[in-house]
Every structure is written in C-alpha cells, then in structure tokens.
Amino acid sequence: MKRRMHSLVIVVGLTLAAVSGAHHSAVMFDTTQEIVVEGVVTRYEWRNPHVYMAVETIAENGEIFEQQIEAGAPSILNPLGLTPDSLMSGERVTVFGNPNKGGAERIMLGKYLRTEDGSQLPLNIAAPGIRTSRDARAMSLEGTWFSPVNELRGFVRARNTWNVTERGRIARDTWDISQASYADCVPVTAPTLMVYSVATTLEINPDTVVFDVDWMTSRRVVYMDGRGHPEDGELTLQGHSIGHWEGQTLVVDTVQFAEHSEGITLGFPSSSRKHTVERFSLAGDGRHMNYEVVVEDPDYLAEPVIYTAQLEYQPDLEPTRLACDMETARRYLTDE
C-alpha cells in the first residue's frame, strides 16, 4: 500500500466545485490538485447527506495511517451506481480525489475509486463515467425520473448571469458555507429540487400530483381540484402548489414559500415573495421529461428567471429514502 500525491492540475470551475462537493468543497478542498490513495477500507458509512469512508494506507514516510474520505450524498450516489453494499471492510481500493487545504492528515474529498477487480465506483457527482439513461420509455409523466448533473450545474452556473436586485447581488457575492441549508438538514426547494441529481418519483392522482424527491425525503403535493391559493396561508418549505393540465402538460403554480438561504439555487437565497410557475411535459422520445420554470422574487431578482431542463426516465431506480443525519450534516464544521 502506498499514498501518492500528484501535482496534476485539473480544470474544475468554481461552480462545479460547489456542486460536486455539496457546497463546502470550495472551502475545504483544493480542487486544482488530485491525490491518489491506495489501501484497505476500514470504515464505510452510508449516511445522508454525506457518505464517509476510511482507508488504511502508508504515508511517504512509511507510517501507517487512516485516511478519512468524504463522498457525496447517498441519494445522489445511488443513481450513479454506489450502493450501501458496494464496499466492505478489508477490501483493497484505490481512491482518487482532492486534498484538504488544511493538510494531508485532514479529510480528503473522494471523486471516484477503483476496486481490486478493476470496477470503478463514483464518490461524488463529478465522477467520470457515471451511469447513463436506460432504454425504457414512459407513457406519461408518472414514474421515476433522474436529472443529469449537467442540468443542475447549468442552473447553479446561471445565477451569475441573472439580473438581480442590490440585495440579490450582495447575497450572491457574500454567500458562505455558514448559509448552506443542508448543514441544518433543510433540503433545497423548487426549482433547484426539481433538477437535483436524485431520484424523483411522480404520482398522478385524481385531485393531486405528488413529487417524492430523494433529497432529505422531500415531498411536494400539487392540488389539482380547482382550488386557489389560500389567503394569508402558512409559509412552508415547499410552498403551496396548485396545478392544471394544458393538454398533456402539467402546469404548477407555487407561492407561500418560507424564506430559504438557497431557495432559488445553491448559493442564492429566496424570500417569502418567491413565486414559481413550472411546466412538465413528456418528450417525444418517451425517455425524457421536459421541465421549464419561471421564478419571480422581487426581493432578490430584478426580473424573472427562466430555466429549462430535461430529466431522464429511469423506472428501475430505487430511492434511498434516507432521512438527513444531523451529526453527519454538520461534520464538515469540525473536519475543516
């Protein structure tokens, strides 16, 4: 067993770094450097919002030590091919990732790993060779869908092009890790929730449409019975949603969102005046769902934001349904 440090510079934008490391990689890890750790798995913890593992290895000075490794969230890694049964203690692996800015003895960010038989497994959303869509075709919007990482990256990246208010500019430019919502086990909301790279199951009922999103057990209920939004309704995390059909297109109108530190996208907040109008339609190939959203928030946006994306139909994808573990969510605060 040995541990090697490479000076290879990899081209990773700040946006990709923020997405791939679930916000705090840009703070804790040097994403311009890659390290390779070879050793034996001594711990593998399948927890939400981060998977953690440890590998016993040998440093360049010959000392044996246990390298701590942070990976992505189970709900993100499960669709990409990493499962609770993928690794066992005593298994020899080679881990590729980014070093901690605090030094080699600190926790590293795992990107992907190879097992002794040559299999490659993802450790975060930026892993190469992630699973692609299946050949199954949907007959309606009902079923399980998965948003490819490029759709999430595109929306996060777009925040730098929006016409924002002065309050929005300050919030965008001064956002830091202390505002990351997942640290308090608070999931993101629509529209980011809809393009998060996790399993999203859509259920169509006579009076409701329900979205179960495998990110901190998020659930959205859209009322389809003709009701309007309640006056002075309670502000909630996912807001109050009403919908209707325009042909085969589902149109969802949502208001009464609670304020959120990342309510519009990662690193960009929202106020209680956020309003979204979303359109969901089945693509002609039956393998994709078209998603379009218009977001208004006069506190942070000087004009509405419009974003379009496509989700892949993956009916065999099993959600993890893992609740957020607060201790795991806050672990980065001590790992820095």
Compute the half-sphere exposure of residue 198: CA atoms within 13 Å on the CB side of its CA: 27
pLDDT at 80: 86
Percent of the chain at pLDDT > 90 equals 74
* Dihedral (CA of 135, 78, 147, 152) sign: negative
Query: Which range in 67-76, 146-155, 256-265 is most confidently predicted, on average pLDDT?
Result: 256-265
Higher pLDDT, 48 or 19: 48
End-to-end Cα, the chain, rounded Å:
26
- Confidence bin at 53 (pLDDT 50/70/90): very high
Q: Quick one: which H or E segment has residue 310?
A: strand 305-313
Fold entry, domain 143-313: Lipocalin (2.40.128)
Answer yes or no: CATH 1.25.60.10 is held by domain 3-131: no
For the entire predicted model, the pTM comes to 0.84
Retrieve residue 240's tokens: 């109050």
pLDDT at 307: 98
CATH code 2.40.128.20 region(s) in the chain: 143-313
For residue 122, whether the previous peptide bond is cis, meaning omega lies within 30 degrees of 0, is no
pLDDT at 155: 96
